[in-house]
Amino acid sequence: MHTDTRRTNWWATAFVAVCALTVLVPIYLAVVVALKTPDQLAGSGFELPTQVRWENFAEAWERASFPRALTNTLLITVGALVLTLLTNSMVSWAIARNLHRRFFKGVYFYLLAALFVPFPIIMLPLVKETAILGLDNQVGLIVLYTVFGLSLNVFVYTAYIRSIPVELEEAARVDGASTWRVFWQVIFPLLAPMNATVGILTCVWAWNDFILPLVVLSDPAARTIPLAQYIFQGQFNTDYTVAFASYLMAMAPLLLVYVVAQRWVISGVVRGSVK
Amino acid sequence: MTTTTHAPVPPAAVATPASRRSARSRLRRPYYWMVLPAVVLFALFHTLPVLVGVFFSFTDYAGYGAWDFVGVRNYVSLFGDDRVLGAYGFSFGFALVATVLTNVISLAIALALNSRIVARNTFRGIFFMPYVLAILIVGYVFQYLFSNSLPKLLPNVPVIGENILSNPDWAWVAIVVLAVWQASAFAIIIYLAGLQTIPPELYEAASLDGASPWRQFTRITFPLISAFFTINMVLSLKNFLQVFDHVVALTNGGPGTSTESITLLIYRGGFTGGEFAYQTANAVIFVIVITVVSLLQLRFLQRREADF
């Protein structure tokens, strides 16, 4: 690594510190409001709580049907994650190793072209279709995240797979391994860095997505966290402390994962965008 | 180079051309089985809805009941519809301002992060944090900030002092603030990755030659990260044009329809307004607009890249 011989730039440090504070302001606000009693809300909301009211969380847990929403979001995110990693990597490998064949090249550009198709055009017909197929539920969302993810993921995986020497696969083939075995035993483990990248992107997307659950899900029992927050927004009305407790609980899981695995998450996302 | 050059045929065995060919195709066949289901599902859930949408855009389908072909009537009506034009006006104005601000601010922060500063990794971690948060939920926090906190903190500032969100002329600015706050996370990281590809020796040589920091930026830094600039500009504009969650959380399109984005209009009209066919026609136009804008932007920016 290049050792930095420059002197500390205090102007840049100050600038960065001020901007970082701006990033933290809404999160600070969410925390302090969630901890207050309603009568402490007379001010701007930024004041520290004089008396902490933990019941806000218990109340939000009940009123926003949190256990249900959390289960749904977890189920959908984990389902989409596992299915995406297993299938999208395999599709990408088959494409990457056969790009000189017309069929695979066609598939590659077909999937890639979809990146330019904005969601509003498929939104209305898709809802009819998922309803007809009985996929207006959690399973449907898992399928949709996996299928829609293909466009970007194939692009990301393919670039990486082409840097893996084919000789590795050929050695396994000489030993008599089938094409399927070559993938699962030789290639899939080698894809670990890209699996991490695709995994992070899929998790963040599936966990936070609002519009797809909003239009696809028909049964209230299938609601995800963002959708539940949207529906119960009207109910909270002026009960800001309870509402904020529920926002905090909705943001907490991914935020905790991020704080723990911060470097790993950032490098994963960078790897996916700067190929 | 293909994977079939080393078919598992023992070298000693006398392989006829026919048997070798079948061995090869046996090895190749799994590749098709790996790809085919994905292509079928993708066509079913992505391409088919697009085609169905285009088809219904030439009908008067309300989303239920009977329908008839109406030719291009939906398309003609779109151009005279004030609500549609208003949505385009808002989305484009918002997207343009948000794109410029996101990129200017992100580039400035990335440059500062890339210089020698204290606690760089901690700061980098903070800046990326909004990326993992749901826009809708952060949006609700911002909504409180704009409607309750700021009017109490700055009661004498004109627009902000009296809830910017209920001001039809300025509510869009609040949406820009949320959008820039959230989108900068990703843009900063991309710019930082770009800046780290520039060899430090270039700057050493430039400062020996007496080049000012501004000159170093315009002659070395910016040309060398122009590819990253292109990615960020194209992605931000495309995403901002489709703005939805931000608007739902902050203003729900109001006051009136002053902050109604195109996506929100398509959603509302299509699902609850009985305008299924009409709004699919709107979506078809929207797709064309976004594609044209993205391609023009890409062409323009890449030509600029080549000029350096």
Q: What percent of chain A has pLDDT over 90?
A: 61
* Residue B11 scores a pLDDT above 80: no
Mean pLDDT across chain A: 90
pLDDT tens, position by position, B225-251: 998 999 899 999 999 999 999 999 999
Tell whether A44 lies on the interface with B, counting CB pairs under 8 A. yes
pTM, to two decimals: 0.90
Nearest CA in chain A to B116: A8
Q: Provide the shortest C-alpha distance from residue A16 to chain B (in Å).
A: 6
Q: Provide the shortest C-alpha distance from residue B228 to chain A (in Å).
A: 8
Asked if the Cβ–Cβ distance from B52 to A129 is below 8 Å, we say yes
Cα–Cα distance list, B158 to B151, B161, B162, B243 (Å): 10, 6, 7, 27
pLDDT tens, position by position, A259-270: 888 888 888 888
Residues 6+ apart with CB under 8 A from B275: B62, B63, B269
Arithmetic mean of pLDDT, B158-164: 87
pLDDT of residue B21: 63
The confidence band for B20, taking pLDDT boundaries of 50, 70 and 90, is low
Assigned CATH topology for domain B74-307: MetI-like fold (1.10.3720)
pLDDT tens, position by position, B210-222: 888 888 898 889 9
pLDDT tens, position by position, A30-85: 999 999 888 888 778 888 888 888 888 888 888 878 899 999 999 999 999 999 99
Domains of chain A: 10-53 (no CATH), 65-241 (1.10.3720.10)
pLDDT of residue B17: 59
Q: A13 contacts in B (CB within 8 Å)? A: 112, 117-118
Residues 6+ apart with CB under 8 A from B300: none
Q: Provide the shortest C-alpha distance from residue B169 to chain A (in Å).
A: 24
Q: Provide the shortest C-alpha distance from residue A42 to chain B (in Å).
A: 9
pLDDT of residue B19: 62
Q: Which two tokens stand for residue A258?
A: 């991020």
Q: Which residue has the higher pLDDT, A50 or A145?
A: A145
Arithmetic mean of pLDDT, B92-111: 96
Q: B228 contacts in A (CB within 8 Å)? A: 274
- Candidates A124, A156, A203, A208, partner chain B, best to mutate (most B CBs within 10 A): A124
pLDDT of residue A60: 86
- Other Cβ atoms within 10 Å of A72 Cβ, number: 23
Selecting from B44, B136, B142 the residue whose C-beta is nearest the C-beta of A26 gives B142
- Domain boundaries along the sequence of chain B: 16-56, 74-307
